[in-house]
Amino acid sequence: MLKILICFFFVSAAFAQRLPSPQGSYNKGSILFAQQLPLEGEGFMRLFRHRNRGFGSLEILNLIKRTALEMSLRYPMRDRMQLGDIAKMKGGRISRHSSHQNGLDVDIAYFRMNGMEQLPNIFDGFNEDMVINGKISENFDLERNWELMKALHRYGKVQRIFVDEVVKREVCHHAISIGEHDEHVEVLRSLRPFANHKHHMHIRIRCPDTARKCVAQEETAPGSGCELL
């Protein structure tokens, strides 16, 4: 009898587990029962830890972990994925961002040729611009950043990746030069030129199917957008 009761207890506890639930929109939203990304894992590390903004949906956390693992296996001994803010524990408005409110956004520093990682708590912001005077920095690891963008699309419902306009132009030229433009139009299409993204890319995933109160953002126009640059 005791065994049955114990068993019943664990089964009920499992069913009662509350899964993260994004609510509202990216710019006016919140998240219920958010989960926290560890400070470090295989292939990633969190920056700005004192801000305590490592909370998000299962989908964004899984996307980060899977992509980071893949990139670390493919490019060992290089700089890991350096993550900025996701969201605060219950989501909602946070300083420095208009979005990052419903646990579906994350910032990632661009990969660097020199493999340097910044210290997680010393500097309150990404510490290296990759676009200087309208030109891409020599320290911008074009190949690895392109591979990262493709990997993100393989593992998650990525809708937008906000980048600097110069970064999109470089990535477009790279994809065209290695014959990957047509195969990866959707990846290129998701790259959205946006101010203040000289040092990091901002990943945004679509509302999870289970999150009925999540407000989706409109899809972007078809095509890679590379012809505009």
Q: How many Cβ atoms from other residues are within 10 Å of residue 128's Cβ?
A: 18
| Residues within window 88-117 making contact with Zn ion, judged by CB under 5 A | 107
Q: Which residues pair with 105 in a beta bridge?
A: 204
User: Residue 159 or 175: which CB sits closer to Zn ion?
Assistant: 159
Listed in sequence order, the residues at least 6 apart from 14 whose beta carbon sits closer than 8 Å to its beta carbon are none
- Cβ atoms 44, 68 nearer than 8 A: yes
Stretch that binds Zn ion, among 8-16, 23-31, 129-137, 195-203 (CB under 5 A): 195-203
Q: Which stretch binds Zn ion (CB under 5 A): 12-20, 39-47, 169-177, 202-210?
A: 202-210
Question: What minimum distance in Å lies between the beta carbon of 133 and Zn ion?
Answer: 23
- The Cα 27–Cα 10 span in angstroms is 38
Beta-bridge mates of residue 208: none
202 near Zn ion, rule: CB under 5 A: yes
By CB under 5 A, the count of residues binding Zn ion is 2
Q: Toward Zn ion, which CB reaches closer, 166 or 175? A: 166
**Stretch of 22-30, 46-54, 128-136, 201-209 contacting Zn ion, by CB under 5 A:** 201-209
- Specify the DSSP element, H or E, that contains 193: strand 191-193
Q: Determine if 59 is a binding residue for Zn ion (CB under 5 A).
A: no
Residue whose Cβ sits closest to Zn ion: 202
Burial state string for 75-89 with b = 16 or more CB within 10 A and e = fewer than 16: beebbbbbbbbbbbe
197 near Zn ion, rule: CB under 5 A: no
Footprint on this chain of Zn ion (rule: CB under 5 A): 107, 202
